[in-house]
């Protein structure tokens, strides 16, 4: 693998009454943000070979809207990614290291945010980069890493729905 894209699902609706968290759909704003992020990734040439997507409704809907811009991507919906801790997410990433060139993971906070921060710390990222991500990982955000042959991740950048414009 030479690139890793970590994404938090786009903004979702609040849990309605007795509804289950897993079943929350994207909000109208979340749908717009997910589609915009897909176009922004495609415009930057960031097209994954494989996407690992939590089986929750909001992550599946986020992926569906991203997929429109990203084209043919192998997708795996994984129940174990639902609200997964960073160590679980890392195991999924490591299991794909030798199988794909570019991997995308669409999951939930706090796990996806913590994994991004862990990769930053491991790669000795600058304090300014750590500060930028320590404030949180808003819905629809994407952290991009270059991965060297030894599997070490180096920070490439952060895309947030409010700062990508709309290339479409």
Task: Spell out the domain ranges in the chain.
Answer: 3-10+26-163
Query: pLDDT 10s digit of each residue in the chain, 168 long?
Result: 999 999 999 999 987 656 688 899 999 999 999 999 999 999 999 999 999 999 999 999 999 999 989 989 999 999 999 999 999 999 999 999 999 999 999 999 999 999 999 999 898 888 888 888 887 889 999 999 999 988 889 999 999 998 886 655
Which pTM value belongs to this model? 0.94
Q: Are strands 153-159 and 142-147 parallel, antiparallel or unpaired?
A: antiparallel
Question: Over the chain, what is the mean pLDDT?
Answer: 92
- pLDDT, tens digit (0-9, with 9 covering 90-100), for 90-115: 999 999 999 999 999 999 999 999 99
The set of residues, in sequence order, having a beta carbon less than 8 Å from that of 75 and lying 6+ positions away, is 50, 51, 53, 63, 67
Q: Does the domain made of 3-10+26-163 have the CATH classification 3.40.190.10?
A: no
């Amino acid at each position: 693998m030479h690139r890793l894209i970590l994404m938090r699902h786009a903004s979702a609706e609040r849990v309605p009454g007795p509804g289950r968290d897993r079943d929350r759909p994207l909000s109208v704003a979340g749908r717009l943000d997910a589609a915009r992020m897909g176009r922004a990734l495609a415009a930057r040439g960031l097209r994954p070979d494989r996407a690992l997507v939590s089986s929750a409704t909001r992550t599946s809907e986020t992926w569906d809207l991203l997929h429109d811009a990203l084209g043919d991507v192998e997708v795996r919906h994984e129940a174990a990614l639902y609200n997964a801790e960073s160590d679980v997410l890392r195991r999924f990433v490591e299991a794909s290291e030798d199988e794909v060139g570019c991997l995308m993971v669409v999951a939930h906070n706090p796990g996806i945010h913590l994994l991004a921060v862990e990769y930053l710390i491991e790669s000795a990222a600058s304090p300014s980069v750590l500060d930028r991500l320590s404030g949180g990982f808003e819905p629809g955000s994407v952290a991009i890493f270059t991965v060297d042959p030894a599997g070490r991740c180096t920070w490439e950048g952060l895309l947030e729905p409010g700062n990508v414009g709309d290339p479409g």
